[in-house]
Amino acid sequence: MLQPKRTKFRRQQKGRIKGIAGRGAKISFGSFGLKSMNEGFISSKTIEAARVAMTRYMKREGKVWIRIFPDKPLTKKPAEVRMGKGKGAPDKWVAVVKPGTIMFEAEGVPLAVAKEAMRLAAQKMPVMTKFVVRPDYVE
């Protein structure tokens, strides 16, 4: 699963997700993409599950790019622990996704195969998504 090699600080505040994506909102590498339609945190396990679903359906043909990286630690306190005594230990790594972010891209497969592979990946995602095609794409 994806996670940073090292970070400056072990824990982070959760923060709020405001606005729409400025960066990472266009298809850069492939011909097809999966775009988020609302904001959310996407865990490294979810990203990996979506990647596996896509590559299996595409039968390892073509190429898949993961455009999001889980670089934010979310903490959690153990079960049945009283309030206080500081912030919990890092539990999982998440990627912060804004509306309009391209999360996955694919290339080297027919349109129908890419669409179905992205649909399978979208089922794993906790955000609403949309299948997008590069504007200059021709079959």
Average pLDDT over residues 85-101: 97
**Residue among 97, 122, 116, 12 nearest 58 (CA):** 116
Q: Which domains does the chain have, with CATH numbers?
A: 32-74+91-133 (3.90.1170.10)
Distance, in Å, from the CA atom of 77 to the CA atom of 56, rounded to the nearest integer, reads 36
Q: How many residues make up the chain in this entry?
A: 139
β-strands 40-43, 89-97 pairing: antiparallel
Q: What is the pTM of this model?
A: 0.94
The yes-or-no verdict on residue 138 having pLDDT over 90 is: no
Distance, in Å, from the CA atom of 115 to the CA atom of 124, rounded to the nearest integer, reads 15
The yes-or-no verdict on residue 49 having pLDDT over 80 is: yes
What is residue 131's predicted lDDT score, i.e. its pLDDT?
98
Q: Which residues, in sequence order, are CB contacts of 45 under 8 Å at separation 6+?
A: 1, 92
- Which tens digit of pLDDT belongs to each residue from 99-128? 999 999 999 999 999 999 999 999 999 999
